[in-house]
Chains A and B, each alone.
Chain A
Amino acid sequence: MKVKVNDAELELKAGTSAIDAIFAAGYDVPYFCSQEYMSPIGACRMCLAKIGAPRKDRDSGEWIIDEQTGEPKIFFFPNLMASCTTAIMEGMVIDTLSKEVKDAQNGMIEFTLVNHPLDCPTCDKGGACELQDRAYEYGAGQSRFVFDKRHQEKHHALSELITLDRERCIHCKRCVRYFEEIPGDEVLDFIERGVHSYIGTLEDGLPSNFTGNITDFCPVGALLDSTSRFRGRNWEYDHTRSSCLDCAVGCAITIDARTGRIERIKAARNTQVNNDWICDGGRFGHEYVDADERLKTPLIRRDGKLTPSTWEEAAAFINDKLADLGAKETGIILRADATLEEGVAAKALAAQLETGQLDHFPRLAASVIPQGVRATLNDVATSDAILVLGDVSEEAPIVDLRIKEALKGVTPPELMPHGVPLADLRLKERMPRQREILTVASPYRCDLMKHAGSTLTYPAGTEVELLASLLQAANGEGEISEEAAMRLGSSPEQLNDLLKRLSGAKNPVIIYGAFVLAASEASNAVQALAKAVGAKLLAIGPMANSYGLEALAVLPSHARYSVQEMLRGSAKALIVSGLDVAKDAEAAKALKELELLVVHDSFANATTELAHVVLPAKTAYEKEGTVVNLEGRYLPLKPAPVENGQSEDFCGLVKFLGETMGTRLEGRSVRSARRLLKKRLQLDLSELSEEGYLSPAKAKAASKFKLKESYELEGNLLLTPSMIRHEQLSRNAHLHAVYGDAALRLNPADAVAQDLNDGDVVAFELQGIERQAVIKRSEAVPVGLMLLPALPEQPAALLWLEPTKLIKAAVAEVLA
């Protein structure tokens, strides 16, 4: 459609809003209520424009011509129109520069400021405030309002994470709409009416995993991230765009640091991955980085005590010890969120030491690279049939949001010259959702089930059986029997419906996580099922770079050199990065026998207690590098300026070791690692775009899957992935205040049977690891099952725990 904005003529697609036409033409209008990815509502009335269009004669169907100019006559709307809610029409004329429009903008700014406190000098939003900017650009510069302004609560804690200043609110409704439209958690609304209306919750807190996003797009300083309140002015922060490493999604984030501290993390835009959203775990989980007890210098154990040292000394110490050892006797363990560059460095070091004992952890039984057609997150958002296996909302929270995007039935917006459309008229408040396209199957009732048309709670550990039944039916090799379906907590109708929906869909996607990856058979089955119904696959690996490290083959040369084996004595020396492997009592025993234990970590822990050398490690926010997310997308990491002493990433460790050994190892620096990767990948990672690079999928034949006669249930305690990184929770004060200590969730009936009450603290040993948890009764957990958050050292799995071994902490103390 042809549209004219002031003097610029342009061609735009039908359905575009007038405000997007204005921005596409390179002009500006002020706006407060419009927001990318959310419904336009026309509430703030800032984006008023004079809009007109030609008309066709009703009888002849011809354009009505202006006698004077000979051109089609433009009929202007009698009133100025909110451009965010007006769709363009053929030949539309939009004027944003006339005096009429300027006067209206002037007036609207004056009205908006009537009750807005001018406390900009003490407001955290100052310098990054839309109202400040717009008042400066479009306001008259003074107010004629001579009365008292509205007084309301200025420090209202919506939750421990978010503080609301009700005086500053300009009622744009972005936050209210956000909760209904994006995560679908309606936890916020206006209360009261007229000039007295304010934002509030009905119940205490904001029960949602995506609350922090409202602090990003609040146009004023009304909603603020409590972790960063009064910590700095916007112009003092160093803004570093990087990627979040808290899960396999790799959301784009902006790290705001000041004087060597990370003060806050904000969501950055990646239209392919996270749109504008991040989860609360990723946003608020950074406080540990600035903890006082952070390791900042290399330590060498001398006379049984770890004493401060230098990297050179430490490297020499390690080199001396390693020199006495033969080939294959050193083991190297990386955490699965190490960067590709660190992976290269680890491989180079392993090669130098002539050892095949190299692995990353957590690494589950099955490959995180699906054999079959890989789905991207945009595939998920445009899918018309989704099967979810597991609890994605905790495992990879943004996948949860992208699924909810698919439920709206509106494809991700096409980018305009100015980026994501400001007002996508296809989006509406309280849109009907196509729940029927979503099926969620999980061993317990998970959050996403609220949004699913079909849900099924299967007994934990029966993933293979469930998938096998579906596969059999899909391949026409056998009907699903009533009995089999019942055992899976389902019915033949439900499973057949699911199959019909998947195979009948244009773009079906199967999403699966740790519960399936924990068993290679289940993984094979899901891949075979995807092939049978023509679905794409999205596998959620246990950590941020599980995909990348597996693709790079940071793997043992032989199964007998896996992490588990290394910790059971296959190595005589170990270099462990980022994992507290000594949590496991049996592993700790083996570690004590080692000739050399080098621990590369950011904090002291059980493993550093045993270490001969402790090397300070950079956290995810301080590294430069690349990770590959669950889609197979290469995403860049940029270092934020954080005071971390002599911390180094694994590349740094390899550099120092190499220098002592008298050799220049590949991967001794990010640059060096990238040189190697460039040859391998034909991709220069130093020039990676902000949106990342989606690696081309390599077609691999799906592994054959054969159903066994029967499967036995292996346990009663399910280690579940969670949005919160429990290993750092104690150092993340704000998150801890909301989420509390790790919870052991169990059905109330089981809790009664074991005489456990909500809030009881229990201690128990789980496969050698001492765990402590708070009892939380929950109807979401089936009888006979217990849920406990996984740890990096103890990834998702189904285990066995004798319920009588749950000992209340108070009792345990007495026993001790």
Chain B
Amino acid sequence: MEAPQQITSRKDPRFKVSMYEHVGVKNSWTLSYYLGHGGYQAAQKALTMQPSEIINEVKASGLRGRGGAGFPTGVKWSFMPPVDGRQRFLVCNADESEPGSFKDRYILEDDPHQLIEGLLIGGYAIGASKGVIYIRGEYYQGYQRLKQAVAEARQAGYLGSNIFESGFDFDVILHRGAGAYICGEETALMNSFEGLRANPRLKPPFPAQAGVYGLPTTINNVTSLASVVHIINNGADWFSSMGTDDSKGNKLYQISGSVERPGVYEMPMGASFRELIYDLAGGPTMAIKAIIPGGSSTPMLPFDDEHLDTPMDYGSIATKGSMLGTGGVILIPTEKCIVNATWNLVRFYAHESCGKCTPCREGIAGWMVKIYQKLVKGFGQEGDIELIEDMADKIRGKAFCPLADACLGPVQSSIEHFRGEYEYLIKNGKPMYSKSDWWSE
């Protein structure tokens, strides 16, 4: 018997929205609503299973981390050392701060119980009795809803001791960030949670060996944990029936920029950019020249048929020289000066550099941003492009954490695809396209 065709389009009738099913519904964030729509059933089911069964189920589903790096979630869970009586932590990384990414926000705001349930299942799977949600400081609404949800869950016994009479204890600590993008990096997040300066830590030791307070820790993205709820509910086969060979399941894609209906769209992995941009988001509102495929750190791609028909999965985008990242698609209009648009992103990374290592602190935050400013203000000189390229070579792969490389994504790709605009700006002292003031100060 031939295996049924994989679901790779939202238009496939077999596809059903799961994680975002209740987003936008009034009072969807309350426990009563959640329970009325099948809430905490997955957790109840999971707590009757062996932890190893859950890990195997998640492994079988093919779920890869949704925070951007795409590391298989089940495999990550299996890295935890054997239970030895020490406190273990499951940390949820809700410090969503990458420009172009806003998928977690609506789960936090409209469906917080889904996250708590995912955390509970994950905590049970890895033997952690403490869950930590590190939530971006600016997500105040999400924080309030989550706080209320945690209180409700505690009251109703979904958090606390002996949950579902299983003997498993679990509680959640909410921790708000203070406005640093670097805290999305898992080791910096742990430092920040401990009350230390948010600098990334040396790996190894990896969090599973020595994480929060030096104790075994696993860190997962909000969407990864939300996915787990549905994997337990519907089975690994359901999840892996969606997507492509290396990218299983459904994913929350975000789209912003000049489109009719920007927002978050839940789609099976492997759907094309075209489906997202035209079928769901209603198409561009003006001529577009570049797509940033997965959040600001992913190299931009030209807006053409070749790229529009690329499936949005880990492997396919990589072959085009970019990354799936968080799935935060940004469209850059033709009229917008690409140097200026890149400067906007470089400014962001320069502002967010933690200052720990030399190439990022001095290279990106101290120098690169100034060169872009110089270009944009019309003072560019011959050789500046080559200087940027050379600096990028000397930074890429040499910094302590991925933040510096993330900045180089837009820098190098914009030069690769739009070198003419850079040259024009340097030669004429003004941009090829006049609409430059959108993102500048």
A107 near B394 with CB under 8 A, answer yes
B157 interface hit (Cβ, 8 Å): no
How far, in Å, is A44 (CB) from chain B's closest CB?
A: 5
Number of residue pairs across A and B with beta carbons under 8 Å? 106
C-alpha spacing A294/B287, complex, angstroms:
86
Taking CB atoms and an 8 Å cut-off, the chain A residues in 78-92 that contact chain B are 78-80, 82, 85
| Interface: A793 (CB within 8 A) | no
A87 to B352, CA, bound (A): 30
Bound complex: CA of A114 vs CA of B358, how far in Å?
10
B353 and A195 contacting across the interface, CB-CB below 8 Å: yes
Chain B residues with CB under 8 A of A173: 356
Contacting residue for A189 out of B180, B197, B397, CB 8 A: B197
Q: Say if the beta carbon of A46 comes within 8 Å of chain B.
A: yes
Looking at A144-152, A391-399, A719-727, the stretch in contact with chain B turns out to be: A144-152
Chain A min CB distance to B140 (Å): 22
A725-B353 Cα distance, complex, nearest whole Å: 46
For chain A, the bracket of interface size reads 35 or more
Which residue from B196, B363, B387, B398 sits with its C-beta under 8 Å from A48?
B398
Give every chain B residue within 8 A of A429 (Cβ-Cβ).
Answer: 201-202
Which residues between 197 and 214 of chain B lie within 8 Å of chain A, taking CB atoms? 197-198, 201-202, 214
Interchain CB contact under 8 A, A190 and B197: yes
Cα A429 to Cα B352 in complex, Å, equals 23
B358, B361, B400: the one within 8 Å of A194 (CB): B361
A112 CA / B366 CA spacing, docked (Å): 10
Q: Which residues of A contact B359 (CB under 8 A)?
A: 45, 107-108, 111
Q: How far is the CA of A195 from the CA of B370 in the complex (A)?
A: 12
Q: How far is the CA of A107 from the CA of B364 in the complex (A)?
A: 13
Which chain B positions have C-beta within 8 A of A150? Answer: 366
Confirm or deny: B24 has a beta carbon within 8 angstroms of a beta carbon on chain A: no
Minimal Cβ-Cβ distance residue in B for A44: B358
Q: Which residue of A lies closest to B352 (CB)?
A: A194
Bound state CA distance, A341 and B201, in angstroms? 53
Judge if B355 is at the interface, Cβ distance under 8 Å.
yes
Measured between beta carbons, the chain B residues less than 8 angstroms from A78 are 397
A108 to B197, CA, bound (A): 24
A43 located at the interface, meaning its Cβ lies under 8 Å from any Cβ of chain B in the complex: yes
State the CA gap A170–B362 with chains docked (Å). Answer: 10
Set of chain A residues within 8 Å of B357, measured between Cβ atoms? 42-45
Contact with A along B67-91 (1 / 0, CB 8 A): 0000000000000000000000000
Q: Say whether A195 contacts B350, CB under 8 Å.
A: yes
Residues of B within 8 A of A408 (CB): none
Q: Which of A430-482 contact B (CB under 8 A)?
A: 430, 432
| B230 at the A interface (CB under 8 A) | no
Are B391 and A107 in contact, with the CB atoms below 8 A?
Answer: yes
Closest Cβ of chain B to A558, distance in Å, is: 61
Does A125 belong to the interface (CB within 8 Å)?
Answer: no
Residue interface mask B334-371, A partner, CB < 8 A = 1: 00000000000000001111111111011101110010
A193 at the interface (CB under 8 A from B): yes
Which of B358, B374, B397 sits near A108, CB closer than 8 Å? Answer: B358
In whole angstroms, what is the CA distance A147 to B384 when docked? 13
A310 interface residue (CB < 8 Å to B): no
B399 touches A (CB below 8 Å): yes
Residues in B neighbouring A241, C-beta threshold 8 A? none
CB distance from A681 to the nearest CB of B (A): 48
Question: Does A695 count as interface, using CB distance less than 8 angstroms?
Answer: no
Within 8 A of B (CB), among A106-160: 106-108, 110-112, 114-115, 144-145, 147, 150
* Inter-chain contact B354/A193, CB cutoff 8 Å: yes
Which single residue of chain B is at the shortest CB-CB distance from A82? B400
Instruction: Please classify the interface of chain A as helix (H, G, I), strand (E, B), loop, or mixed, using the class held by over half of its residues.
Output: loop
Contact at A46–B398, with CB atoms within 8 Å? no
CB distance from A326 to the nearest CB of B (A): 73
- Residues in A whose Cβ lies below 8 Å from that of B351: 194
Residues of B within 8 A of A112 (CB): 358, 362
* CA gap between A190 and B191 in the complex, in Å: 14
Nearest B residue (CB) for A77? B397
Give the residue name and chain of the A residue nearest to B405 (CB). Answer: A79
CA of A103 to CA of B362, assembled, Å: 17
Min C-beta distance of B386 to chain A, whole Å: 10
| Contact of A193 with B367 in the complex, beta carbons under 8 Å | no
Q: Which residues of B contact A197 (CB under 8 A)?
A: 354-355, 361
Given A107-B391, A115-B366, A147-B370, check contact A80 B355 (CB 8 Å): no
CB of A374 within 8 Å of the partner chain: no
Residues of B within 8 A of A430 (CB): 196
Q: Tell me the bound Cα distance from A193 to B356 in angstroms.
A: 8
**A145 in contact with B367 (CB, 8 Å):** yes
- The answer, yes or no, to whether A407 is at the interface (CB within 8 Å) is no
Most B C-beta atoms less than 10 A away, residue of A103, A104, A111, A428: A111
A53 to B: closest C-beta gap in Å: 15
Q: Of the candidates B182, B198, B362, which one forms a contact with A195 in the assembled complex, judged by CB atoms under 8 Å apart?
A: B362
List the B side residues contacting A85 at CB < 8 Å: 202
Nearest B residue to A109, CB-CB = B358
Looking at B201, B352, B361, the one whose CB has the most chain A CB atoms below 10 A away is B361
Q: What A residues does B367 contact at CB under 8 A?
A: 111, 114, 145, 147
Inter-chain contacts of B355 with A (CB < 8 A)? 171, 190, 192-197
A41 at the interface (CB under 8 A from B): yes
The CA-CA distance from A712 to B390 in the complex, in Å, is 79
How far apart are B135's CB and chain A's nearest CB, in angstroms? 20
Q: Which of B133-187 contact A (CB under 8 A)?
A: 180, 182
B197 touching A43, Cβ below 8 Å: no
Select one of A42, A43, A108, A115 contacting B394, CB under 8 A: A108
CA distance A695 to B355 in the complex (A): 50
**Interface residues in A15-53 (C-beta closer than 8 Å to B):** 40-46, 48
Q: Which residues of A contact B395 (CB under 8 A)?
A: 107
Measured between alpha carbons, how far is A189 from B394 in the docked complex, in Å? 28
Question: For B201, what are the chain A residues with a Cβ–Cβ distance below 8 Å?
Answer: 429
A111: B residues at CB distance < 8 A: 358-359, 362-363, 366-367, 394
Interface contact B366-A171, CB-CB below 8 Å? no
Q: Which residues of A contact B397 (CB under 8 A)?
A: 78-80
Contact A108 B202 (CB under 8 A): no
| Least CB separation from A84: chain B residue | B202
- Check A195 against B398 for contact (C-beta < 8 Å): no
Q: By the criterion CB–CB under 8 Å, are A45 and B214 in contact?
A: no
Report B231-281 residues with CB < 8 Å from chain A CB: none
A251 CB, min distance to chain B CBs, angstroms: 31
Minimum CB–CB distance from B217 to chain A (whole Å) comes to 15
**With A and B bound together, what is the CA distance between A78 and B397 in angstroms?**
8
Distance in angstroms between the alpha carbons of A111 and B367 in the assembled complex: 8
Select one of A42, A115, A144 contacting B387, CB under 8 A. A144
One digit per residue, 1 when the CB lies within 8 angstroms of any chain B CB and 0 when it does not, for chain A 154-183 equals 000000000000000011010000000000
Residues of B within 8 A of A40 (CB): 202
Residues in A with CB closer than 8 Å to B391 are 107
Let me know if B361 and A195 touch, CB within 8 A: yes
> Which chain A residues border B356 with CB–CB below 8 Å?
43, 171, 173
A85 to B202, CA, bound (A): 8
Most chain B Cβ neighbours within 10 Å, of A42, A45, A110: A45
A41 to B203, CA, bound (A): 10
Interface residues of A (CB under 8 A from B): 40-46, 48, 78-80, 82, 85, 103-104, 106-108, 110-112, 114-115, 144-145, 147, 150, 170-171, 173, 189-190, 192-197, 428-430, 432
Q: What are 7 of the A-B contact pairs (CB < 8 Å)?
A: A42-B400, A43-B358, A103-B394, A108-B359, A192-B355, A193-B352, A195-B362
Contacts A40-B202, A104-B398 aside, 12 further interface pairs with beta carbons under 8 A come to A42-B202, A43-B400, A104-B394, A107-B363, A111-B363, A114-B363, A115-B362, A150-B366, A189-B197, A194-B354, A195-B350, A195-B355
Q: Chain B: residues with CB nearer than 8 A to chain A? A: 180, 182, 196-198, 201-202, 214, 350-359, 361-363, 365-367, 370, 374, 387, 390-391, 393-395, 397-400
Q: Which 8 residue pairs spanning A and B have beta carbons closest together?
A: A107-B394, A79-B397, A197-B355, A194-B353, A195-B365, A111-B362, A194-B365, A195-B366
